[in-house]
Chains A and B, each alone.
Chain A
Protein backbone atom coordinates (compact mmCIF):
# COMPACT_ATOMS: atom_id res chain seq x y z
CA UNK A 1 0.00 0.00 0.00
CA UNK A 2 1.32 3.40 -0.90
CA UNK A 3 2.31 5.39 2.14
CA UNK A 4 0.11 8.30 2.98
CA UNK A 5 3.09 10.40 4.02
CA UNK A 6 6.45 10.04 2.35
CA UNK A 7 9.43 12.14 3.43
CA UNK A 8 12.31 11.77 1.00
CA UNK A 9 15.86 12.92 1.69
CA UNK A 10 14.55 15.92 3.56
CA UNK A 11 17.15 18.45 4.63
CA UNK A 12 16.84 21.66 6.58
CA UNK A 13 20.05 23.54 7.14
CA UNK A 14 20.43 26.82 9.02
CA UNK A 15 23.73 27.92 7.53
CA UNK A 16 26.17 25.44 8.97
CA UNK A 17 23.70 23.85 11.35
CA UNK A 18 22.12 20.70 9.89
CA UNK A 19 18.88 20.61 11.82
CA UNK A 20 17.34 17.94 9.59
CA UNK A 21 19.77 15.88 7.56
CA UNK A 22 18.59 13.60 4.76
CA UNK A 23 15.65 12.14 6.61
CA UNK A 24 13.58 9.43 4.95
CA UNK A 25 10.33 8.34 6.54
CA UNK A 26 7.29 6.54 5.18
CA UNK A 27 4.04 6.59 7.12
CA UNK A 28 1.04 4.48 6.19
CA UNK A 29 -2.53 5.66 6.41
CA UNK A 30 -4.20 4.96 9.72
CA UNK A 31 -0.99 4.47 11.70
CA UNK A 32 0.09 6.10 14.86
CA UNK A 33 3.70 6.94 14.07
CA UNK A 34 6.15 8.13 16.69
CA UNK A 35 9.18 10.37 16.32
CA UNK A 36 11.54 10.41 19.23
CA UNK A 37 15.06 11.54 19.94
CA UNK A 38 17.08 13.53 22.43
CA UNK A 39 16.56 17.27 22.76
CA UNK A 40 17.76 19.21 19.78
CA UNK A 41 17.52 16.20 17.49
CA UNK A 42 15.47 18.14 14.97
CA UNK A 43 12.03 16.70 15.65
CA UNK A 44 10.16 19.99 15.90
CA UNK A 45 12.12 21.39 12.99
CA UNK A 46 10.95 18.39 10.97
CA UNK A 47 7.37 19.16 11.92
CA UNK A 48 7.82 22.80 10.96
CA UNK A 49 9.06 21.83 7.53
CA UNK A 50 6.25 19.31 7.10
CA UNK A 51 3.61 21.90 7.85
CA UNK A 52 5.14 24.66 5.77
CA UNK A 53 6.28 26.91 8.60
CA UNK A 54 9.87 26.47 7.51
CA UNK A 55 11.10 25.93 4.00
CA UNK A 56 13.04 22.80 3.14
CA UNK A 57 16.65 23.23 2.05
CA UNK A 58 16.33 20.15 -0.13
CA UNK A 59 14.34 16.96 -0.39
CA UNK A 60 10.63 16.38 -0.80
CA UNK A 61 7.50 15.59 1.10
CA UNK A 62 4.63 13.68 -0.45
CA UNK A 63 1.14 13.47 0.96
CA UNK A 64 -1.12 10.94 -0.74
CA UNK A 65 1.26 10.99 -3.69
CA UNK A 66 1.03 14.74 -4.07
CA UNK A 67 4.18 16.81 -3.58
CA UNK A 68 3.62 19.26 -0.76
CA UNK A 69 7.16 20.49 -0.18
CA UNK A 70 7.33 24.21 0.55
CA UNK A 71 3.62 24.81 0.20
CA UNK A 72 2.42 27.60 2.51
CA UNK A 73 1.08 26.35 5.81
CA UNK A 74 -2.50 27.34 5.23
CA UNK A 75 -2.48 25.29 2.05
CA UNK A 76 -1.18 22.27 3.94
CA UNK A 77 -3.91 22.66 6.51
CA UNK A 78 -6.45 22.75 3.74
CA UNK A 79 -5.17 19.44 2.48
CA UNK A 80 -6.10 17.89 5.78
CA UNK A 81 -2.87 18.00 7.77
CA UNK A 82 -3.26 19.63 11.17
CA UNK A 83 -0.81 20.14 14.01
CA UNK A 84 -0.29 21.24 17.56
CA UNK A 85 2.73 23.13 18.82
CA UNK A 86 5.35 22.36 21.41
CA UNK A 87 4.95 25.79 22.97
CA UNK A 88 1.26 26.31 23.33
CA UNK A 89 0.08 28.84 20.79
CA UNK A 90 -3.45 29.46 21.83
CA UNK A 91 -5.21 32.74 21.27
CA UNK A 92 -4.97 33.85 24.84
CA UNK A 93 -7.43 36.71 24.87
CA UNK A 94 -10.23 34.74 23.29
CA UNK A 95 -12.42 32.21 25.00
CA UNK A 96 -12.23 28.49 24.39
CA UNK A 97 -15.06 28.38 21.89
CA UNK A 98 -13.65 31.26 19.86
CA UNK A 99 -10.28 29.54 19.77
CA UNK A 100 -11.90 26.49 18.22
CA UNK A 101 -13.98 28.60 15.84
CA UNK A 102 -10.84 29.71 14.01
CA UNK A 103 -10.29 26.11 13.00
CA UNK A 104 -13.33 26.25 10.77
CA UNK A 105 -11.84 28.97 8.64
CA UNK A 106 -11.19 26.62 5.73
CA UNK A 107 -14.70 25.24 5.85
CA UNK A 108 -16.47 28.56 5.70
CA UNK A 109 -16.77 31.10 2.98
CA UNK A 110 -18.14 34.38 4.33
CA UNK A 111 -16.70 37.34 2.47
CA UNK A 112 -17.08 41.08 3.09
CA UNK A 113 -20.47 41.41 1.47
CA UNK A 114 -21.79 38.39 3.31
CA UNK A 115 -20.63 39.83 6.60
CA UNK A 116 -22.06 43.27 6.00
CA UNK A 117 -25.46 42.13 4.83
CA UNK A 118 -25.74 39.04 7.00
CA UNK A 119 -26.57 36.91 4.02
CA UNK A 120 -27.53 33.28 4.25
CA UNK A 121 -23.89 32.33 3.72
CA UNK A 122 -22.99 34.34 6.80
CA UNK A 123 -25.77 32.82 8.86
CA UNK A 124 -24.89 29.35 7.73
CA UNK A 125 -21.20 29.87 8.54
CA UNK A 126 -21.91 31.31 11.97
CA UNK A 127 -24.23 28.46 12.86
CA UNK A 128 -21.78 25.91 11.58
CA UNK A 129 -18.86 27.28 13.55
CA UNK A 130 -20.87 27.43 16.74
CA UNK A 131 -22.52 24.06 16.36
CA UNK A 132 -19.42 22.18 15.30
CA UNK A 133 -17.31 24.09 17.78
CA UNK A 134 -19.51 22.94 20.62
CA UNK A 135 -19.47 19.40 19.25
CA UNK A 136 -15.70 19.28 19.26
CA UNK A 137 -15.50 20.68 22.75
CA UNK A 138 -17.93 18.00 23.83
CA UNK A 139 -15.89 15.34 22.08
CA UNK A 140 -12.62 16.45 23.67
CA UNK A 141 -14.19 16.85 27.09
CA UNK A 142 -13.81 20.62 27.34
CA UNK A 143 -17.49 21.52 27.35
CA UNK A 144 -17.24 22.87 30.90
CA UNK A 145 -14.72 25.49 29.83
CA UNK A 146 -16.52 26.77 26.76
CA UNK A 147 -16.64 30.43 27.78
CA UNK A 148 -13.44 30.66 29.79
CA UNK A 149 -10.58 32.73 28.46
CA UNK A 150 -7.79 30.59 27.14
CA UNK A 151 -5.20 32.26 29.29
CA UNK A 152 -7.05 31.32 32.45
CA UNK A 153 -6.97 27.60 31.77
CA UNK A 154 -4.72 25.09 33.45
CA UNK A 155 -1.83 23.70 31.43
CA UNK A 156 -3.37 20.30 30.75
CA UNK A 157 -6.62 21.87 29.58
CA UNK A 158 -4.73 24.23 27.32
CA UNK A 159 -3.03 21.32 25.64
CA UNK A 160 -6.38 19.66 25.07
CA UNK A 161 -7.69 22.88 23.58
CA UNK A 162 -4.77 22.91 21.16
CA UNK A 163 -5.82 19.47 19.97
CA UNK A 164 -9.46 20.51 19.79
CA UNK A 165 -8.54 23.48 17.66
CA UNK A 166 -6.51 21.30 15.33
CA UNK A 167 -9.43 18.88 15.03
CA UNK A 168 -11.66 21.73 13.95
CA UNK A 169 -9.77 21.96 10.68
CA UNK A 170 -11.19 18.55 9.76
CA UNK A 171 -7.87 16.80 9.24
CA UNK A 172 -7.03 13.32 8.05
CA UNK A 173 -3.54 13.54 9.53
CA UNK A 174 -2.76 15.00 12.93
CA UNK A 175 0.74 16.02 13.95
CA UNK A 176 1.11 16.24 17.71
CA UNK A 177 4.20 17.93 19.14
CA UNK A 178 4.75 16.65 22.68
CA UNK A 179 1.05 16.53 23.57
CA UNK A 180 1.60 15.25 27.10
CA UNK A 181 4.43 17.56 28.11
CA UNK A 182 3.79 18.85 31.59
CA UNK A 183 0.88 16.55 32.31
CA UNK A 184 0.46 14.35 35.35
CA UNK A 185 -0.03 10.57 34.93
CA UNK A 186 -3.82 10.80 35.08
CA UNK A 187 -3.98 13.44 32.37
CA UNK A 188 -1.41 11.52 30.35
CA UNK A 189 -3.57 8.39 30.44
CA UNK A 190 -6.57 10.41 29.32
CA UNK A 191 -4.64 11.79 26.38
CA UNK A 192 -3.41 8.33 25.43
CA UNK A 193 -6.97 7.05 25.40
CA UNK A 194 -8.12 10.08 23.46
CA UNK A 195 -5.42 9.76 20.82
CA UNK A 196 -6.16 6.08 20.41
CA UNK A 197 -9.81 6.89 19.96
CA UNK A 198 -9.04 9.54 17.35
CA UNK A 199 -6.94 7.00 15.52
CA UNK A 200 -9.74 4.45 15.60
CA UNK A 201 -12.03 7.06 14.07
CA UNK A 202 -9.68 7.15 11.11
CA UNK A 203 -7.06 9.80 11.83
CA UNK A 204 -3.45 9.10 10.94
CA UNK A 205 -1.36 10.41 13.79
CA UNK A 206 2.29 11.44 13.89
CA UNK A 207 3.47 12.15 17.38
CA UNK A 208 6.64 13.63 18.84
CA UNK A 209 7.10 12.61 22.43
CA UNK A 210 9.58 12.27 25.22
CA UNK A 211 7.35 10.20 27.44
CA UNK A 212 8.31 6.61 26.57
CA UNK A 213 5.16 5.20 28.08
CA UNK A 214 3.05 7.19 25.64
CA UNK A 215 5.17 6.18 22.67
CA UNK A 216 5.33 2.51 23.50
CA UNK A 217 1.62 2.35 24.22
CA UNK A 218 0.40 4.14 21.16
CA UNK A 219 2.77 3.86 18.26
CA UNK A 220 2.91 1.06 15.79
CA UNK A 221 6.16 2.32 14.29
CA UNK A 222 8.80 4.74 15.54
CA UNK A 223 11.61 6.73 13.96
CA UNK A 224 14.47 7.94 16.09
CA UNK A 225 16.26 11.18 15.23
CA UNK A 226 19.57 12.30 16.58
CA UNK A 227 21.42 15.43 15.49
CA UNK A 228 19.17 15.74 12.47
CA UNK A 229 19.68 12.23 11.16
CA UNK A 230 17.38 9.25 11.41
CA UNK A 231 19.34 6.63 13.32
CA UNK A 232 16.75 3.92 13.71
CA UNK A 233 13.26 2.89 12.67
CA UNK A 234 10.98 0.06 13.57
CA UNK A 235 8.37 -1.31 15.90
CA UNK A 236 8.64 -0.15 19.53
CA UNK A 237 10.41 -3.24 20.82
CA UNK A 238 13.08 -3.06 18.13
CA UNK A 239 13.73 0.59 18.79
CA UNK A 240 13.85 0.14 22.52
CA UNK A 241 16.73 -2.31 22.34
CA UNK A 242 18.66 -0.74 19.47
CA UNK A 243 22.24 0.07 20.36
CA UNK A 244 22.44 3.37 18.53
CA UNK A 245 19.27 4.59 20.18
CA UNK A 246 20.47 3.77 23.66
CA UNK A 247 23.77 5.43 22.92
CA UNK A 248 22.05 8.56 21.64
CA UNK A 249 20.02 8.92 24.81
CA UNK A 250 22.48 7.72 27.41
CA UNK A 251 25.88 8.44 25.94
CA UNK A 252 28.75 6.09 25.01
CA UNK A 253 30.35 5.52 28.40
CA UNK A 254 27.11 4.24 29.81
CA UNK A 255 26.88 1.85 26.89
CA UNK A 256 30.17 0.22 27.82
CA UNK A 257 28.93 -0.27 31.34
CA UNK A 258 25.78 -1.78 29.92
CA UNK A 259 27.69 -4.32 27.85
CA UNK A 260 29.74 -5.56 30.78
Chain B
Protein backbone atom coordinates (compact mmCIF):
# COMPACT_ATOMS: atom_id res chain seq x y z
CA UNK B 1 0.00 0.00 0.00
CA UNK B 2 2.88 2.33 -0.50
CA UNK B 3 0.95 4.00 -3.30
CA UNK B 4 -1.30 5.52 -0.67
CA UNK B 5 1.60 6.81 1.33
CA UNK B 6 3.19 8.24 -1.78
CA UNK B 7 0.02 10.05 -2.76
CA UNK B 8 -0.51 11.27 0.76
CA UNK B 9 2.95 12.71 0.95
CA UNK B 10 2.55 14.38 -2.39
CA UNK B 11 -0.68 15.97 -1.30
CA UNK B 12 0.62 16.95 2.09
CA UNK B 13 3.65 18.63 0.66
CA UNK B 14 1.53 20.96 -1.39
CA UNK B 15 -1.39 21.18 0.99
CA UNK B 16 -2.20 24.78 0.27
CA UNK B 17 -2.35 24.15 -3.44
CA UNK B 18 -4.62 21.14 -3.09
CA UNK B 19 -6.85 22.92 -0.63
CA UNK B 20 -7.14 25.89 -2.90
CA UNK B 21 -7.82 23.72 -5.90
CA UNK B 22 -10.46 21.83 -3.96
CA UNK B 23 -12.16 24.99 -2.78
CA UNK B 24 -12.30 26.47 -6.25
CA UNK B 25 -13.72 23.26 -7.71
CA UNK B 26 -16.35 23.06 -5.03
CA UNK B 27 -17.42 26.65 -5.46
CA UNK B 28 -17.53 26.66 -9.23
CA UNK B 29 -18.83 23.15 -9.62
CA UNK B 30 -22.49 23.81 -10.45
CA UNK B 31 -21.54 26.49 -12.93
CA UNK B 32 -19.20 24.15 -14.76
CA UNK B 33 -21.40 21.10 -14.81
CA UNK B 34 -24.74 21.40 -16.45
CA UNK B 35 -25.98 17.89 -15.87
CA UNK B 36 -28.66 17.99 -13.19
CA UNK B 37 -28.06 14.34 -12.58
CA UNK B 38 -24.45 14.88 -11.55
CA UNK B 39 -25.38 17.76 -9.30
CA UNK B 40 -27.89 15.54 -7.55
CA UNK B 41 -25.27 12.83 -7.13
CA UNK B 42 -22.91 15.32 -5.53
CA UNK B 43 -25.64 16.55 -3.22
CA UNK B 44 -26.22 12.95 -2.23
CA UNK B 45 -22.53 12.58 -1.52
CA UNK B 46 -22.61 15.68 0.66
CA UNK B 47 -25.50 14.30 2.70
CA UNK B 48 -23.61 11.06 3.22
CA UNK B 49 -20.51 12.99 4.21
CA UNK B 50 -22.60 14.40 7.02
CA UNK B 51 -23.87 10.96 7.99
CA UNK B 52 -20.44 9.37 7.81
CA UNK B 53 -18.90 12.16 9.87
CA UNK B 54 -21.65 11.67 12.38
CA UNK B 55 -20.99 7.95 12.66
CA UNK B 56 -17.27 8.59 12.78
CA UNK B 57 -17.70 10.73 15.87
CA UNK B 58 -19.20 7.79 17.71
CA UNK B 59 -17.21 4.93 16.22
CA UNK B 60 -13.95 6.64 15.59
CA UNK B 61 -13.70 9.02 18.49
CA UNK B 62 -16.08 7.87 21.16
CA UNK B 63 -14.84 4.35 21.56
CA UNK B 64 -18.30 3.00 20.91
CA UNK B 65 -19.63 1.02 18.01
CA UNK B 66 -22.89 2.17 16.51
CA UNK B 67 -24.45 0.67 13.42
CA UNK B 68 -27.95 1.96 13.88
CA UNK B 69 -27.48 5.28 12.18
CA UNK B 70 -30.64 4.97 10.16
CA UNK B 71 -32.58 5.60 13.35
CA UNK B 72 -31.13 9.01 14.10
CA UNK B 73 -31.35 9.98 10.45
CA UNK B 74 -34.99 8.92 10.42
CA UNK B 75 -35.89 10.95 13.49
CA UNK B 76 -34.36 14.06 11.96
CA UNK B 77 -36.07 13.57 8.62
CA UNK B 78 -39.49 12.93 10.08
CA UNK B 79 -39.22 15.82 12.50
CA UNK B 80 -38.51 18.12 9.60
CA UNK B 81 -41.18 16.59 7.40
CA UNK B 82 -43.96 16.66 9.96
CA UNK B 83 -43.28 20.15 11.24
CA UNK B 84 -42.92 21.61 7.79
CA UNK B 85 -45.94 19.99 6.16
CA UNK B 86 -48.30 20.34 9.09
CA UNK B 87 -47.21 23.56 10.73
CA UNK B 88 -45.27 25.31 8.05
CA UNK B 89 -42.08 25.65 10.02
CA UNK B 90 -39.14 27.04 8.13
CA UNK B 91 -36.26 24.99 6.83
CA UNK B 92 -33.73 27.06 8.68
CA UNK B 93 -35.33 26.58 12.07
CA UNK B 94 -35.85 22.91 11.38
CA UNK B 95 -32.18 22.31 10.70
CA UNK B 96 -30.99 22.60 14.29
CA UNK B 97 -34.33 21.41 15.61
CA UNK B 98 -34.18 18.10 13.75
CA UNK B 99 -30.67 17.67 15.01
CA UNK B 100 -31.70 18.37 18.57
CA UNK B 101 -34.64 15.99 18.27
CA UNK B 102 -32.41 13.20 16.99
CA UNK B 103 -29.97 13.89 19.78
CA UNK B 104 -32.57 13.89 22.51
CA UNK B 105 -34.33 10.76 21.30
CA UNK B 106 -31.09 8.83 21.06
CA UNK B 107 -29.96 10.02 24.47
CA UNK B 108 -33.22 8.90 26.06
CA UNK B 109 -33.79 5.64 24.23
CA UNK B 110 -30.22 4.61 23.62
CA UNK B 111 -27.80 6.56 25.74
CA UNK B 112 -29.22 6.19 29.20
CA UNK B 113 -30.29 2.57 28.91
CA UNK B 114 -27.48 1.15 26.89
CA UNK B 115 -24.27 3.15 27.10
CA UNK B 116 -22.75 0.99 29.79
CA UNK B 117 -22.66 -1.98 27.47
CA UNK B 118 -19.60 -3.30 25.78
CA UNK B 119 -18.87 -3.23 22.06
CA UNK B 120 -20.98 -5.87 20.44
CA UNK B 121 -23.91 -5.48 22.79
CA UNK B 122 -24.11 -1.76 22.34
CA UNK B 123 -23.88 -2.22 18.58
CA UNK B 124 -26.77 -4.64 18.59
CA UNK B 125 -28.83 -2.30 20.69
CA UNK B 126 -28.22 0.50 18.21
CA UNK B 127 -29.56 -1.82 15.54
CA UNK B 128 -32.56 -2.55 17.67
CA UNK B 129 -33.07 1.17 18.22
CA UNK B 130 -32.90 1.81 14.51
CA UNK B 131 -35.54 -0.81 13.83
CA UNK B 132 -37.77 0.33 16.67
CA UNK B 133 -37.76 3.85 15.24
CA UNK B 134 -38.65 2.49 11.83
CA UNK B 135 -41.42 0.34 13.25
CA UNK B 136 -42.86 3.22 15.23
CA UNK B 137 -42.82 5.38 12.12
CA UNK B 138 -44.56 2.63 10.16
CA UNK B 139 -47.23 2.02 12.75
CA UNK B 140 -47.95 5.44 14.24
CA UNK B 141 -50.12 6.36 11.33
CA UNK B 142 -51.74 9.42 12.84
CA UNK B 143 -48.35 11.04 13.23
CA UNK B 144 -46.38 9.80 10.28
CA UNK B 145 -48.94 8.51 7.78
CA UNK B 146 -47.32 5.13 8.18
CA UNK B 147 -46.21 3.33 5.05
CA UNK B 148 -47.61 6.06 2.82
CA UNK B 149 -44.85 8.40 3.83
CA UNK B 150 -44.98 12.16 3.89
CA UNK B 151 -45.12 13.88 0.52
CA UNK B 152 -45.19 17.50 -0.42
CA UNK B 153 -42.41 18.85 1.74
CA UNK B 154 -42.14 22.47 0.65
CA UNK B 155 -39.18 24.21 -0.87
CA UNK B 156 -37.04 26.05 1.63
CA UNK B 157 -37.16 29.83 1.38
CA UNK B 158 -34.20 32.12 1.43
CA UNK B 159 -35.06 35.73 2.10
CA UNK B 160 -38.39 35.28 0.45
CA UNK B 161 -37.14 33.35 -2.58
CA UNK B 162 -38.04 29.74 -2.79
CA UNK B 163 -35.16 27.37 -3.38
CA UNK B 164 -36.14 25.34 -6.37
CA UNK B 165 -33.07 24.53 -8.29
CA UNK B 166 -30.51 21.85 -7.64
CA UNK B 167 -27.61 24.28 -7.83
CA UNK B 168 -29.14 26.45 -5.13
CA UNK B 169 -29.56 23.42 -2.92
CA UNK B 170 -25.99 22.49 -3.66
CA UNK B 171 -24.61 25.72 -2.26
CA UNK B 172 -26.78 25.56 0.82
CA UNK B 173 -25.78 22.01 1.60
CA UNK B 174 -22.15 22.72 0.82
CA UNK B 175 -22.25 25.58 3.30
CA UNK B 176 -23.83 23.44 5.98
CA UNK B 177 -21.36 20.61 5.45
CA UNK B 178 -18.40 22.97 5.61
CA UNK B 179 -19.81 24.51 8.79
CA UNK B 180 -20.29 21.05 10.29
CA UNK B 181 -16.74 19.99 9.46
CA UNK B 182 -15.45 23.21 10.97
CA UNK B 183 -17.38 22.69 14.19
CA UNK B 184 -16.35 19.06 14.46
CA UNK B 185 -12.74 19.95 13.90
CA UNK B 186 -12.86 22.54 16.65
CA UNK B 187 -14.56 20.28 19.14
CA UNK B 188 -12.15 17.42 18.46
CA UNK B 189 -9.16 19.67 19.03
CA UNK B 190 -10.22 20.68 22.47
CA UNK B 191 -10.50 19.30 25.96
CA UNK B 192 -13.69 17.52 24.90
CA UNK B 193 -12.07 15.81 21.94
CA UNK B 194 -9.13 14.75 24.04
CA UNK B 195 -11.42 13.30 26.66
CA UNK B 196 -13.23 11.33 23.95
CA UNK B 197 -10.02 9.95 22.52
CA UNK B 198 -8.81 8.94 25.95
CA UNK B 199 -12.08 7.05 26.45
CA UNK B 200 -11.61 5.40 23.10
CA UNK B 201 -8.07 4.35 23.88
CA UNK B 202 -8.58 3.10 27.43
CA UNK B 203 -11.68 3.76 29.49
CA UNK B 204 -10.13 2.71 32.77
CA UNK B 205 -7.13 4.96 32.35
CA UNK B 206 -9.38 7.80 31.21
CA UNK B 207 -11.50 7.59 34.34
CA UNK B 208 -8.35 7.45 36.44
CA UNK B 209 -7.39 10.74 34.80
CA UNK B 210 -10.60 12.33 35.99
CA UNK B 211 -12.67 11.98 32.81
CA UNK B 212 -16.35 11.41 33.60
CA UNK B 213 -16.64 8.57 31.15
CA UNK B 214 -20.39 8.06 31.06
CA UNK B 215 -21.17 11.74 30.76
CA UNK B 216 -18.70 12.20 27.95
CA UNK B 217 -20.03 9.20 26.09
CA UNK B 218 -23.49 10.74 26.32
CA UNK B 219 -22.13 14.03 25.02
CA UNK B 220 -20.45 12.20 22.19
CA UNK B 221 -23.65 10.41 21.30
CA UNK B 222 -25.68 13.62 21.35
CA UNK B 223 -23.15 15.56 19.31
CA UNK B 224 -22.94 12.82 16.70
CA UNK B 225 -26.64 12.10 16.39
CA UNK B 226 -27.37 15.82 16.18
CA UNK B 227 -25.59 15.93 12.84
CA UNK B 228 -27.38 12.83 11.64
CA UNK B 229 -30.63 14.57 12.46
CA UNK B 230 -29.57 17.66 10.53
CA UNK B 231 -28.74 15.42 7.58
CA UNK B 232 -32.22 13.98 7.87
CA UNK B 233 -33.76 17.43 7.66
CA UNK B 234 -31.70 18.25 4.58
CA UNK B 235 -32.70 14.98 2.97
CA UNK B 236 -36.38 15.63 3.68
CA UNK B 237 -36.30 19.03 2.00
CA UNK B 238 -34.23 17.79 -0.89
CA UNK B 239 -36.20 14.68 -1.70
CA UNK B 240 -39.49 16.38 -0.77
CA UNK B 241 -40.98 13.01 0.07
CA UNK B 242 -39.90 10.61 2.77
CA UNK B 243 -41.03 7.21 3.92
CA UNK B 244 -39.80 4.58 6.30
CA UNK B 245 -38.33 2.64 3.40
CA UNK B 246 -35.36 4.95 3.23
CA UNK B 247 -34.40 4.23 6.81
CA UNK B 248 -33.85 0.52 6.97
CA UNK B 249 -30.90 -1.24 8.57
CA UNK B 250 -29.22 -1.27 5.18
CA UNK B 251 -28.83 2.45 5.43
CA UNK B 252 -26.83 2.05 8.62
CA UNK B 253 -24.70 -0.63 7.01
CA UNK B 254 -24.00 1.55 4.01
CA UNK B 255 -22.86 4.41 6.20
CA UNK B 256 -20.68 2.01 8.14
CA UNK B 257 -19.09 0.84 4.92
CA UNK B 258 -18.31 4.44 3.98
CA UNK B 259 -16.75 5.14 7.36
CA UNK B 260 -14.65 1.98 7.31
CA UNK B 261 -13.45 2.41 3.77
CA UNK B 262 -12.62 6.04 4.31
CA UNK B 263 -10.88 5.39 7.58
CA UNK B 264 -12.50 5.31 10.98
CA UNK B 265 -11.05 7.68 13.51
CA UNK B 266 -9.58 10.02 10.95
CA UNK B 267 -10.90 13.39 9.95
CA UNK B 268 -10.84 13.01 6.19
CA UNK B 269 -12.07 9.42 6.24
CA UNK B 270 -15.78 10.25 6.35
CA UNK B 271 -15.26 12.59 3.41
CA UNK B 272 -13.32 10.13 1.27
CA UNK B 273 -15.47 7.13 2.05
CA UNK B 274 -18.79 8.43 0.75
CA UNK B 275 -17.12 10.06 -2.22
CA UNK B 276 -15.40 6.86 -3.24
CA UNK B 277 -18.22 4.43 -2.63
CA UNK B 278 -20.95 6.56 -4.11
CA UNK B 279 -19.02 7.35 -7.26
CA UNK B 280 -18.20 3.65 -7.58
CA UNK B 281 -21.85 2.75 -7.40
CA UNK B 282 -22.70 5.34 -9.99
CA UNK B 283 -20.10 3.90 -12.29
CA UNK B 284 -21.47 0.40 -11.80
CA UNK B 285 -24.96 1.72 -11.95
CA UNK B 286 -27.70 -0.81 -11.82
CA UNK B 287 -30.23 -1.87 -9.32
CA UNK B 288 -29.75 -1.06 -5.66
CA UNK B 289 -28.69 -4.62 -4.93
CA UNK B 290 -25.40 -4.18 -6.72
CA UNK B 291 -24.65 -1.17 -4.60
CA UNK B 292 -24.68 -3.17 -1.44
CA UNK B 293 -22.62 -5.99 -2.92
CA UNK B 294 -19.90 -3.45 -3.60
CA UNK B 295 -20.21 -2.02 -0.12
CA UNK B 296 -19.94 -5.41 1.50
CA UNK B 297 -16.99 -6.41 -0.60
CA UNK B 298 -15.36 -3.03 0.02
CA UNK B 299 -15.55 -3.53 3.78
CA UNK B 300 -13.94 -6.94 3.49
CA UNK B 301 -11.21 -5.75 1.17
CA UNK B 302 -10.36 -2.80 3.39
CA UNK B 303 -10.29 -4.95 6.50
CA UNK B 304 -7.93 -7.42 4.89
CA UNK B 305 -5.63 -5.01 3.18
CA UNK B 306 -5.68 -1.79 5.13
CA UNK B 307 -7.80 -1.81 8.29
CA UNK B 308 -7.22 1.85 8.89
CA UNK B 309 -9.07 2.71 5.73
CA UNK B 310 -7.82 4.92 2.97
CA UNK B 311 -7.09 7.85 5.23
CA UNK B 312 -5.18 5.67 7.62
CA UNK B 313 -7.32 5.50 10.72
CA UNK B 314 -6.40 6.54 14.20
CA UNK B 315 -3.03 8.04 13.72
CA UNK B 316 -4.42 11.12 12.17
CA UNK B 317 -7.31 11.60 14.53
CA UNK B 318 -6.53 15.03 15.83
CA UNK B 319 -3.96 17.61 15.12
CA UNK B 320 -1.28 16.23 17.35
CA UNK B 321 0.73 18.75 19.30
CA UNK B 322 3.54 19.94 17.13
CA UNK B 323 6.29 22.36 17.81
CA UNK B 324 5.02 25.21 15.64
CA UNK B 325 1.59 25.16 17.18
CA UNK B 326 2.97 25.22 20.69
CA UNK B 327 5.39 28.03 20.04
CA UNK B 328 2.61 30.01 18.47
CA UNK B 329 0.30 29.53 21.42
CA UNK B 330 2.94 30.35 23.98
CA UNK B 331 4.20 33.41 22.16
CA UNK B 332 0.69 34.84 21.93
CA UNK B 333 0.55 34.80 25.68
CA UNK B 334 3.88 36.52 26.09
CA UNK B 335 2.75 39.36 23.87
CA UNK B 336 -0.05 40.07 26.26
Q: Which residues of A contact B (CB under 8 A)?
A: 51-53, 72-74, 77-78, 82-83, 85, 89-95, 97-98, 101-103, 105-106, 108-112, 114-116, 118, 122-123, 125-127, 129-131, 134, 147, 165-166, 168-169
Contact = CB atoms under 8 A, between A and B. Distances in A.
Nearest to A96: B321
Contacts of A97: 321
B1 interface: no
B44 to A, nearest CB: 27
B93 to A, nearest CB: 20
B329 A126 contact: yes
Nearest to B213: A74
Interface of B: 183, 186-187, 189-195, 197-198, 201-202, 204-213, 219, 223, 314-315, 317, 320-323, 326, 329-330, 332-333
A74 B202 contact: no
B189 to A, nearest CB: 8
A116 B209 contact: no
Interface hub of B207, B210, B211, B213 (most chain A Cβ within 10 A)? B210
B330 A169 contact: no
Given A74-B210, A98-B194, A116-B186, A53 B204 contact: yes
Given A112-B187, A115-B191, 6 more contacts: A73-B204, A74-B210, A91-B201, A93-B201, A114-B190, A116-B186
B192 A110 contact: yes
Contacts of A169: 209-210
11 contacts: A53-B208, A91-B197, A93-B315, A94-B320, A106-B210, A123-B329, A126-B190, A127-B329, A127-B330, A130-B326, A169-B209
A111 B212 CA distance: 14
Contact of A110 (B191, B314, B317): B191
Contact of A130 (B183, B210, B330): B330
A216 B183 CA distance: 54
A90 B195 contact: no
A91 B198 contact: yes
Secondary structure call for the B interface: helix
Given A90-B205, A105-B195, A118-B186, A98 B211 contact: no
B209 A147 contact: no
A82 B191 contact: no
A104 B225 CA distance: 28
Contacts of B317: 93
Contacts of B206: 102
Contact of B191 (A77, A125, A134, A166): A125
B204 A89 contact: yes
A132 B223 CA distance: 29
A83 B223 CA distance: 31
A74 B211 CA distance: 6
Given A74-B213, A131-B330, A98 B207 contact: no
A29 B322 CA distance: 39
B225 to A, nearest CB: 14
A108 B191 contact: yes
B323 A147 contact: yes
Given A93-B315, A95-B321, A122-B190, A73 B207 contact: yes
Contact of B194 (A72, A93, A102): A102
B323 A111 contact: no
Contacts of A85: 204-205, 208
Nearest to A104: B191
Nearest to B201: A91
Given A91-B202, A127-B330, A130-B326, A101 B208 contact: no
B38 to A, nearest CB: 33
A98 to B, nearest CB: 6
Contacts of B201: 91-94
B187 A115 contact: yes
Nearest to B198: A102
B320 A105 contact: no
Contacts of B192: 110-112, 115
A115 B186 contact: yes
Nearest to A85: B205
A55 to B, nearest CB: 13
Most buried by B among A73, A85, A126, A166: A73
B323 to A, nearest CB: 7
Closest 9 pairs between A and B when the two form their complex, measured CB to CB: A115-B190, A89-B205, A106-B210, A77-B210, A73-B207, A91-B201, A110-B191, A102-B198, A74-B212
